[in-house]
Amino acid sequence: MDDLVVVAGAGGFIGGHLVADLVRDGKRVRAMDCKPLEDWYQVDRDADNVVLDLRLRDACFRAVAGAADVYNLAADMGGMGFIESNKGLCMVSVLINTHMLLASQQLDVQRFFYASSACVYAADKQTDPDNPGLRESDAYPAMPEDGYGWEKLFSERMCRHFSEDFGLHTRVARYHNVYGPHGTWSGGREKAPAAICRKVAEAKLTGSSQIEIWGDGEQTRSFMYIDDCIYGTKTILGSQLTEPINLGSSEMVTINQLVDIVEDIAGVRLERQYLLAAPKGVRGRNSDNTMIATMLGWEPSISLRTGLEKTYAWIFDQVAALTAIG
């Protein structure tokens, strides 16, 4: 079974897309998540789909048995509204990576990928909306997002030391705001692109003239389309990189500009109501892609407009279907 690929967190947004892509590549895939199968965002019938709670040690050993490659994308997470209110739950995810690393090391997994986050970056590097781009070295001295960011940074260090101490081939990518179809778009765990697409779609379908924006709309971010994320993830696992690396777009926009683009796609203009007390995260965050461009000769390049057109179309259909049922 030395060609078996394991995807942990396969019931989530990125995991579902990764499983589908690996299956298209002709890989034998074992997909797993703790959610009931009917709650997975995507289920590929050509994969071996398993429901397992990977916070448990025995489940991780069962998960990786016979695997050549392991992609660990499993975590309890969501948008800023979720992670700011669930720091303890986010940190419990450290059990997943701990047990997955132990199982991979002891069961002779060849390659191990860990999905980290831009939330590992020091807060004092993200106070200016004109962020020049976060370099990989900006994670230290450590001052990450409380809860979720600390868990990610600690798990990065575990990967490093399992590589140094046991020779396990580990690769770490710091994801920057991944978006696209077949992701969370409502319920409190959605991220900014999906939330804005949903709000604009709801306004268009109901005839509303207003939209709520968290913060003053001048906070900045970069957003990476899911296709770039999947390509980068597979490329990083197969590379000779030994340090964590940014995987994100360098196309930085304000949240107001993000709304502008979605409104233009939808053909509407809405009055903005700014919720200044709502969770809004750091003031400015962008991905410095010097390392990935230098080391891999590639960087995420799908434009925000192109990705949002596809994302908005999918979310509009979800909102329309829900509205019809209601």
Tokens of 112: 């191990």
Structure-token match 């329309």, residue found: 320
Q: What is the DSSP string of 84-138?
A: TT-HHHHHHTHHHHHHHHHHHHHTT-SEEEEEEEGGGS-GGGS--SS---B-GGG
Burial class (CB in 10 A: 0-12, 13-18, 19+), 252: buried
How far apart are alpha carbons 235 and 245 in whole angstroms? 12
- 214: helix, coil or strand? strand
87 vs 211: CA distance, rounded Å: 28
Which residues are known catalytic residues? 148
How would you class 291 by CB atoms within 10 Å of its CB: exposed for 0-12, middle for 13-18, buried for 19 or more? middle
H or E element: which one contains 235?
Answer: helix 226-237
**Token pair listed for 213:** 């924006």
DSSP state letters, 8-67: ETTTSHHHHHHHHHHHHTT-EEEEEESS-GGG-S---TTSEEEE--TTSHHHHHHHHTTE
What are the helix and strand counts (H, E) for the chain?
11, 13
